[in-house]
């Protein structure tokens, strides 16, 4: 009896009469993982649009951008203490990034295991969209770490000044590597959004033959808007328009 119990624990076989929760069952399914990717992706997309609009305040001078950054820390007062809203938003965003990345990795592993060996030899290259999403996700994941170290913790910023984001942006993008890394990530982001928005629409069942053209246009427009909007800041610094 004890041996059977130990074997049961090692193999993690479910106890008779007990079933996984609906949430656990959904997460284990490919459909559930795709839904998690879609919802978390749309959440991150909303953040990116707001973040881009905030970044564009750099063109109105240091007072506007620094004032905006200070205002973000006062949202929710007096109910929330200074800076609490920003940390709550970061926590939600981090959860979305982790859920998105884990679901993408597990789906990729599941897809590779499901492919017959002959199919792998017959089609050595994955589709353009698949390769873009996978490598774009890796590039963006690495960039998030760099971006935090550069403009949040100010660890790698060459002339960091606490509480002065305008000056920190100029200091970062004044270096060839700071601007170069950012522009590479922005290009990866644009491609990722273009394919990801369309995939999310399909996963959530929003698309149909009548809406496909509109959704594809929206995906392209969002990707272009974010690419141009985010890229304009380092380009302006590197060309001396913002200093």
One-character DSSP codes across 77-133? TTTS-TTHHHHHHHHHHHHHHHHHHHHHHHHHHHHHHHS-HHHHHH--SPPHHHHHH
Token pair in block for residue 123: 């089609």
Report the C-alpha gap between 143 and 137 in whole angstroms. Answer: 10
Task: Check the CA dihedral 82-88-71-140 and report its sign.
Answer: positive
Question: What is the chain's alpha carbon radius of gyration, rounded to the nearest angstrom?
Answer: 22
Plot region of 80 (φ>0 → left; ψ -120 to 50 → alpha; else → beta): beta
Band of the pLDDT at 116, cuts 50, 70, 90? Answer: low
* Among candidate residues 147, 146, 123, 143, the one with its CA nearest the CA of residue 135: 143
Contact (Cβ atoms closer than 8 angstroms) between residue 193 and residue 226: yes
| pLDDT at position 159 | 86
| pLDDT at position 129 | 58
Please say if the pLDDT value at position 145 is more than 80: yes
What's the burial of 14, exposed, middle or buried (CB within 10 Å: 0-12/13-18/19+)? exposed
Q: Which range has the worst mean pLDDT, 27-31, 34-38, 98-102, 120-124?
A: 120-124
* Among candidate residues 94, 93, 103, 90, the one with its CA nearest the CA of residue 200: 103
Token pair in block for residue 56: 């564009």
Band of the pLDDT at 15, cuts 50, 70, 90? Answer: low
Token pair in block for residue 133: 């999403």
Q: Which range has the worst mean pLDDT, 74-78, 90-94, 212-216, 226-230?
A: 212-216
Instruction: State the DSSP code for 243.
Output: -
H helix or E strand, kind and range, residue 233: helix 212-238
* Number of Cα atoms under 13 Å in the Cβ half of residue 159: 12
Q: Which residue has the higher pLDDT, 2 or 170?
A: 170
Whole-model pTM? Answer: 0.83
Please say if the pLDDT value at position 123 is more than 60: no
Contact (Cβ atoms closer than 8 angstroms) between residue 86 and residue 165: no
Q: Which range has the worst mean pLDDT, 40-54, 109-123, 164-178, 206-220?
A: 109-123
pLDDT average, residue stretch 168-181: 94
Please say if the pLDDT value at position 112 is more than 70: yes
Q: Which range has the worst mean pLDDT, 30-44, 71-85, 198-212?
A: 198-212
For 183-236, what is each residue's pLDDT tens digit? 999 999 999 999 889 888 888 888 788 888 898 999 999 999 999 999 999 999
Contact (Cβ atoms closer than 8 angstroms) between residue 168 and residue 154: yes
- Average pLDDT score, the chain: 86
């Amino acid at each position: 009896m004890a041996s059977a119990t130990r074997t049961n624990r090692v193999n993690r076989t479910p106890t008779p009469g007990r079933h996984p929760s609906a949430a656990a069952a959904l997460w284990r399914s490919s459909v559930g993982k795709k839904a998690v990717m879609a919802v978390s992706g749309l959440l991150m997309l909303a953040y990116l649009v707001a973040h881009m609009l905030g970044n564009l305040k750099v063109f109105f001078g240091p007072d506007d951008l620094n004032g905006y950054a200070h205002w973000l820390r006062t949202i929710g007062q007096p109910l929330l203490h200074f800076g609490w809203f920003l940390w709550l938003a970061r926590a939600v965003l981090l959860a979305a990034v982790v859920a998105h990345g884990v679901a993408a990795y597990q789906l990729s592993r599941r897809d590779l295991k499901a492919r017959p060996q002959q199919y792998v030899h017959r089609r050595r290259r994955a589709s353009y969209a698949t390769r873009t999403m996978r490598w774009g996700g890796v590039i963006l994941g690495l960039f998030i770490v760099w971006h935090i170290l550069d403009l949040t913790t100010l660890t790698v910023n060459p002339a960091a000044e606490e509480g002065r984001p305008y000056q920190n942006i100029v200091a970062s993008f004044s270096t060839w590597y700071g601007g170069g890394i950012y522009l590479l990530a922005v290009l990866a982001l644009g491609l990722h959004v273009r394919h990801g928005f369309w995939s999310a629409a399909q996963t959530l069942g929003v698309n149909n033959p009548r809406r496909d053209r509109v959704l594809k246009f929206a995906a392209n427009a969002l990707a272009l808007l974010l690419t141009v909007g985010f890229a304009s800041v380092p380009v302006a610094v590197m060309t001396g328009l913002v200093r």
